[in-house]
Homo-oligomer: A and B are copies of this chain.
Amino acid sequence: MKKLITLDYTNMSDAAVGARNGVSISALKALSDAVRKHHRNLIAMQKTGRLGFADLPFDPQPVRAVQQSARRRKGKYENLVVLGIGGSALGVTALQTALNSPLYNLDARIRHGRPRLFVLDNVDPDALDQVLSFVDPRKTLFNVITKSGSTSETMGQYLLVRKLLQDTLKGRFAQNIVCTTDAAKGDLRKLVAQDGYESFVIPENVGGRFSVLTPVGLFPAEMVGIPADRLMAGAAHVARECSSASLLKNPAYIFAACQYLAATKKGKNVAVLMPYAASLRDVADWFRQLWAESLGKRVDTAGRVVHTGQTPVKALGVTDQHSQMQLYVEGPADKVVTFLHVERFRSKLSFPRGPRGYSSLNYLGGKKVADLMEAEFQGTRMALTRSQRPNMTFSIRSVTPEAVGGLFQLFELANAMSGELYGINAFDQPGVEAGKEAAYALMGRKGYDELCRSIESAMKAKALRV
């Protein structure tokens, strides 16, 4: 396999976008020693089993497990409904958008007997009701995904689905549920034992937002015709491409270091990821969780208050040229824009020649649609650079399972290095607890009575309303 992903970071440099906004090559090189040390840390973590995601591409067992199950279940379902939220939903959605047609759910001809895919990643009652009313439970497989085995949104959905299946399939209801959760811990694992569901394991050392290349992403992928082995081959390839301890030879580390320097030295607190391919839209959404939840931290590993983290923003070329580009070019210089560039599209569609005498039509006639896409990408990148806005470009040859698997692995590695650079723990998420507990209290969960009273009295305080 040739190089799967290349990084062009020319336009991050002060030479390209000026000293005020750009990163100097000397500043980058000055990070080399630190990066080498951090790399050793990460390797040590990997060796002691504390960097689970890094090992995933080299373990063939989960791929075999999901492929066997998917083969056995082939042709049996009209629908696959994933119950999951956050890391249990974003990866699945990214895979589906990237590698299947946007018409997949709509058009049985392109599904070739595979099930439609619905990802229920919310507890919006209307949206839940609409999907659950649409599917015939007897012909639907439900994949319940939660690492902890107790996520309230997912467990609530599970209650709805369990009842729906019990009402229609009676004693055989467990056949239409597959659970993906921790090997031993949590309520969902206990329910697997009690009810006899098929199940897959999320390794204990792989956090939700790093779990797309576990059965969390791989099982639904196989069910909708995306080959898990090819995703993993791409991830393994990129893991090797990004294995150098030497900063300037490692695309994942350059990405991390450029973002880190831009954020901490140049005030770029916004990190835009802008694919120029509609199919990579939700890879940007997946990245958004990875970057925000890993790097948005109050304290560093020494306990000092730091409040780190760029705000990740997903944008889409060319669509957002007509929505966000005005701000990116003329607004505050507070962003790094990272393009995901696709060299080859599958479609060879060309613009036909239209009627004569129309200046907005004539230059398009006879050109490939892909050429317009490419020209707009180049034009936008140039306009950003000329207005001294730092930007980088990851290029892939085409949107294949290998490339998508590779992108996941690359961003996860970059993210781990970023955690090291900031000196924070990139693998926890303590900041979501307070909101969760307040919600428990308001739902009347046992043991939260006092919190509930304190919340209710706060809610009665004088409000500024109009």
Contact = CB atoms under 8 A, between A and B. Distances in A.
Interface stretch (A32-40, A54-62, A379-387, A400-408): A379-387
24 contacts: A10-B463, A85-B322, A103-B131, A123-B376, A153-B376, A156-B372, A158-B361, A159-B351, A162-B354, A186-B360, A208-B322, A296-B326, A296-B330, A297-B331, A307-B331, A311-B311, A326-B431, A326-B432, A330-B430, A363-B446, A375-B439, A375-B440, A379-B435, A382-B458
Interface in A285-328: 288-289, 292-293, 295-298, 307-309, 311, 313, 316, 318-319, 321-328
A127 B279 contact: yes
Interface residues of A, number: 153
Interface string A155-174: 11011101100000000000
Given A124-B345, A149-B360, A373-B124, A90 B354 contact: no
Interface string A89-110: 1100000000001110111000
Contacts of A375: 438-440, 442-443
B6 A465 contact: yes
Contact of A382 (B269, B364, B455): B455
Given A361-B155, A382-B438, A437-B379, A277 B124 contact: yes
A251 interface: yes
Interface stretch (A66-74, A196-204, A225-233, A332-340): A332-340
Q: Which 4 A-B pairs have the closest CB atoms?
A: A86-B322, A296-B327, A379-B438, A296-B331
A191 interface: yes
Contacts of A311: 270, 311, 313, 327, 331, 334-335
